[in-house]
A and B are shown apart, each in its own frame.
Chain A
Amino acid sequence: MTIEDPELLAEFVIESQEHLAEVESELLTLEAQPDRVDTALVNKVFRAVHSIKGAAGFFGQQTLETLAHRGEEVLNRLRNNEIRPTHQVISTLLAATDRLKGLLDNIEDSNNEDVSEHVIALEKLLKNEADGQPSQQTPVSESQTTADQEPCDAAKSTTSKSLNQKTQQSSNVLPRIRASGIGEEALRDFLIESCDNLEQIERDLVSFEDDPTSESLVNSIFRSMHTIKGSAGFLAFNNLERLAHACETLLGKIRLGERQLESSICNLLFATVDSMQKCLQRIEQDGQEGCFMDDNLIEHLLAACESGYDAGAGREGDFTDDKVIDPMLAACEPGCNVGGAGKKESDLLAVNECRELQSDASLFAPRADQPVDSAKSTAVQNSSADETQVKSAADSTIRVDVALLDKLMTRVGELVLARNQIMQFTSSLGDSELLNTSQRLNLITTELQEGVMKTRMQPIGNVWSKFPRIVRDLSSTCGKQVRIEMHGKDTELDKTIIEAIKDPLTHLVRNSVDHGIETPSDRVKMGKPAEGCLRLRAFHEGGQVNIEISDDGAGLNPAKLKAKARDRNLITAEQAEQMQDHEANQLIFLPGFSTAERVSNVSGRGVGMDVVKTNIEKIGGMVDIQSQVGRGTTIKIKIPLTLAIIPALTITNDGNRFAIPQVNLLELVRLDGEDAQSGIEWIQGAPVHRLRGRLLPLVYLRKLLQTGDDRDEVAEAINIVVLRADDRQFGLVVDRINDTEEIVVKALSKQLKAIPVYSGTTIMGDGKVALILDVLGLAYESNVISKERDRSLPEASPFNADASIDQQSLLILGTSDGQRLALPISQVARLEQIPKTSVERANNQEVVQYRSEILPLIRLAKFLGLKSHEDPDDPQLNVVVYTEDARSVGLVVDRIIDIVKTTLEVSCQSRHQGLLGSAVIQERVTDVVDLPAVIRQLDVPNQAAVCLN
């Protein structure tokens, strides 16, 4: 009996793969605690394997079935504590799981595959452990196996005794499940699944009535019923299980053609479905299936299996539809306490008789398993107390095709574009009503966009779930002991990004185990615990997702890295000398770099860290590495939440508009008037700009894109977009900076993919197309980063790198009477020139409007009690902007002299408020300003927090 429906088969494969994914992680958990076998967990695994087995048999996948069956037997022993979850046992089981996966991947051909190796290995486990144990299989597995494999045979032999046996077995399982607390979730899943299944059965039954010869329909019904049976048994809903079992038996007969689907049987089946639905409702409401009896129905079902049973047969003289269904419904009424075991069919008469039956039944002694029932049901009741308010569980989730979501996402993208267009249109029209409407459109679009994005979000745990297995296998191959810890599994990412980071993350995890963590003996020598720890952490921060992979292994050895890089001519000896440790660590991202002394079968085979880096950068992410010798290595990855809609800066150059992703943007610098000429200096033809004392290489977009002639015309103002690519900064000189905007990224067409400076296209608010610049590509093309050489050398630094640790950069200010003041530059956010006319007063304090906030101004010289001779002809004020905790303060100074990097030694303490003391800087005595003290003095933060709107 095989099923040819490819859709069903595909569903089976997906479902089984999901099951196996769970099995894997659970087996690992079992192995981690060999002394205390978590029965609930074993049961979970058992159940998963069991469903695979059942379904496989149903689909005629004998190979799969055989393998799953053996696995199930081993698990059964495990469950009965006849086998310990030793390394060997778990390994064998894992290997079998892998094989099952392999078979599933190639389902068409699976029957021709050879699994004897695994079957033998599993059987060996059974034999070894069976010494001293009863050599027979336990009743449970036997009866279940037969029931699954040959439903008709089992049906014949199914007596009330075997039913009871099963019932007892499963009710033993139950308290253990409840006690371990998997109850709530499992219950919920069960309810959703079973409701789905029942609905399916109902639909199939209707079609089946019209087409009683359809094999696929009866198979589908059988399968759904079987699933319900399995789950019900597992969760110890005994009545439900027995009912399902009886029904399955009947279905088995029908399937084999031994019974015809007459209307009476059909009605019986419908009645069963109804009864089950009621039962599920009760379970959902109060966590117990209720103790009404389905025995009548069951006996009917069993009787129907016999060839003699039909509507006209004497045994069922007055058996009609209503009479079956009505008593069922009546029995399902809340409060109904029918416990009549062993009632005869003849009791099933008319509705009023059934009412009598109810009252009779209350006299019956509680059934044997009832105490158990009520004991566990209290547990369930607690856990499901809040569920009663929630909508019916089955209604709360649906499965959606990913293609549909993708399509939806595209549409939303288009809606965002249309919204942008309308917003632009509206602002030019100035109609207030239109404005209101478009504001609402704006709001709804944003919410819709967020909602749709959310549907595509998946927890990163989906990728991580396979890591414990990888780590386990790897560490045993390498002879290491590694524990894996995962934090932030629920952190969500767009599906496309999840796909994209899967391989890089796997590589990093492998690397950490293979190269990072030392062998137990080495670790003990170092005074570390023998077991190494690999920690995965994920969290959201600033619209990005951070992923950290850290190990407490040997760490990277900068000296070794440098030597290796020199050997391979990746860097020069001189570079190596100047390189700091942090930079040396970055060397591992170079193409063709591997420190592994020997190539193991695990890593070091070429697909290196450079690929990891490239792949992560491809999706707009960044990788950083931190390491301490002997302490471990941490790799930090930052990736955007989504790729589809991103904030971007739009600029114009030679009449062309371009978008620059905001993630790459550091700041915008505008050089006006005189600065436009003096602000750009040249080093042998390479333009640079001094940005806070550091040389920022400049790239002219015009030259790079070859859109204009190489004219050095004197512009009124120069706009520099400061960008970050890799660890470098560079300034992109553009004609005009427009605005920031949410843009919908569309892929480049095939003709344009080869151009490195573009990463995509988008449609702007006015409906025109704009190209998205690829900042990394720009950096490569303009040689800010060179392709062959080191990608990791530091930004060109005019200072001696070696001593830089003790040094700090100081901003040197001059007062008009020639006194010099110094300010640590790390405290300075920006240097600004503000027109005097824009100074306003608020709260008895000079303020200016600055970036749509109120910036309080402090006249530094005045504050320090120094004489200040402001140049009355200068229309500008020099303002040093200091930012802390998102609050800014502006210090008005007379003159900015220089920025120097020096070792700060404050020699004589100052008694003056706001000064730290004096130091000799550039051979001149300079007062060092205590900036925090200045700000405290004014208690400005309170005022500065007010926002302009």
Chain B
Amino acid sequence: MIATKESQLCTFFLDDQMFGVDVQCVQEVIRYQEMTAIPLAPNAVCGLINLRGQIVTAIDLRMRLGMSNRPEGKLPMNVVVRGNDGAVSFLVDQIGDVQEINEEFFEPPPETLRGASRRLIRGAYKMKHRLLLILDAERAMHVSADDR
């Protein structure tokens, strides 16, 4: 998932922040699906989705990144990402375009970035008008019981 020299990122938004994951590991992007709640699950794990017979765990990235709750009545989108231990659906606010990016504009996160985000954000691409944060999908998927 490390962006190579020239790579394509699937982008999405949480609040107004733009995030990206390598387009290679994205299985599909779908609109909001009904979910089966999982009592006792870690907070960021919000449910199970039946994706044509494949059961996928949904992880709310807002929760995962320690952001505020999604405003009431706003339905999230699913970005289904393949990981080492099966697919996971990331719940995001909105889907962006696929961006072609170049390695030279990449920079690791500043020291001042703390908290959960520090582990999950690989760095940023400096785009013309905004920053594109690279999500470490594999780490974001790894929700353990401690995160509850």
Binding site for B on A (CB under 8 A): 414, 417, 655-657, 705-707, 746, 749-752, 754-755, 757-758, 761, 763, 767-771
Contacts and interface: CB of A to CB of B under 8 A. Distances in A.
B48 A769 contact: yes
Contacts of A767: 50
Cβ-closest 3 pairs across A and B: A705-B39, A769-B48, A769-B36
A645 B140 CA distance: 32
Contacts of B37: 655-656, 707
A769 B42 contact: no
Interface string B109-136: 0000000000000000000000000000
B53 to A, nearest CB: 5
Contact of B49 (A705, A706, A758, A769): A769
Interface string B54-66: 0111010000000
Contacts of A769: 35-36, 48-50, 55
A749 B51 CA distance: 14
14 contacts: A656-B39, A746-B55, A749-B57, A749-B85, A750-B85, A751-B41, A751-B88, A752-B45, A755-B40, A761-B55, A768-B34, A768-B50, A770-B36, A771-B36
B141 interface: yes
Contacts of A655: 37
A796 B37 CA distance: 35
A750 B50 CA distance: 16
Nearest to A746: B55
Contact of B142 (A656, A706, A746, A750): A750
B75 interface: no
B143 A751 contact: yes
Contacts of A707: 37, 39
Nearest to A701: B39
A758 B36 CA distance: 14
B2 interface: no
A657 B38 CA distance: 10
Contacts of B49: 769
Contacts of A763: 50, 53, 55
Contacts of A757: 40
B86 interface: yes
A755 B53 CA distance: 23
A758 B85 CA distance: 18
Nearest to B87: A749
Contacts, number: 66
A364 B39 CA distance: 89
Nearest to B44: A751
Interface string B15-41: 000000000000000000011111111
A706 B39 contact: yes
A750 B86 contact: yes
A168 B14 CA distance: 86
Contacts of A770: 36
Nearest to A653: B39
Contacts of B39: 656, 705-707
Contact of B42 (A656, A705, A751, A761): A751
Nearest to B84: A750
Contact of A754 (B34, B48, B57, B144): B144
A656 B36 contact: yes
A700 to B, nearest CB: 13
Contact of B57 (A414, A657, A752, A768): A752
Contacts of A771: 36, 38, 48
Nearest to A766: B50
Contact of A761 (B34, B40, B48): B48
Contacts of B142: 750-751
Given A749-B85, A750-B86, A752-B41, A417 B36 contact: no
B55 A768 contact: no
Nearest to A744: B53
Given A755-B145, A763-B53, A769-B50, A749 B40 contact: no
B146 to A, nearest CB: 9
B45 A751 contact: yes
Contacts of B145: 754-755
Q: Which of B36, B45, B57, B144 has the most CB of A within 10 A?
A: B36
A771 B145 CA distance: 18
A767 B55 CA distance: 11
Nearest to A417: B53
B87 to A, nearest CB: 9
B145 to A, nearest CB: 4
A605 B41 CA distance: 37
B55 A751 contact: no
A771 B86 CA distance: 18
Q: Which of B50, B57, B141, B143 has the most CB of A within 10 A?
A: B50
Q: Which of B35, B57, B88, B141 has the most CB of A within 10 A?
A: B57
A657 B40 CA distance: 14
Interface string B79-98: 00000011010000000000
A750 B88 CA distance: 10
A136 B103 CA distance: 77
A649 B145 CA distance: 28
Contacts of A750: 85-86, 141-142
Q: Which of A707, A754, A767 has the most CB of B within 10 A?
A: A754
Nearest to B48: A769
Q: Which of B41, B56, B59 has the most CB of A within 10 A?
A: B41
B43 to A, nearest CB: 11
A705 B86 contact: no
A757 B41 CA distance: 10
Contact of A751 (B35, B36, B53, B57): B57
B122 to A, nearest CB: 21
A761 B51 CA distance: 13
A755 B55 contact: no
Contacts of A751: 41-42, 45, 57, 59, 88, 141-144
Contacts of B48: 749, 761, 769, 771
A332 B56 CA distance: 63
Given A761-B48, A769-B48, A752 B38 contact: yes
A707 B55 CA distance: 22
A564 to B, nearest CB: 35
Contacts of B88: 749, 751
A656 B39 CA distance: 9
B52 to A, nearest CB: 9
Nearest to B47: A769
Nearest to A754: B145
Nearest to B49: A769
Nearest to A756: B40
A754 B145 CA distance: 7
B27 to A, nearest CB: 14
A705 B144 CA distance: 18
A755 to B, nearest CB: 5
A417 B50 CA distance: 12
A657 B49 CA distance: 14
A213 B37 CA distance: 65
B144 to A, nearest CB: 7
Contacts of B34: 768
A749 B86 CA distance: 8
A770 B16 CA distance: 34
B55 to A, nearest CB: 5
Nearest to B40: A755
Nearest to A655: B37
Given A749-B57, A752-B41, 17 more contacts: A656-B36, A657-B36, A707-B39, A749-B86, A750-B142, A751-B41, A751-B88, A751-B141, A751-B142, A754-B145, A755-B38, A755-B40, A755-B41, A763-B53, A769-B35, A769-B55, A771-B48
A906 B37 CA distance: 59
A645 to B, nearest CB: 14
A750 B83 CA distance: 11
A758 B45 CA distance: 15
A769 B145 CA distance: 21
A655 B37 CA distance: 9
A656 B88 CA distance: 21
Contacts of B35: 769
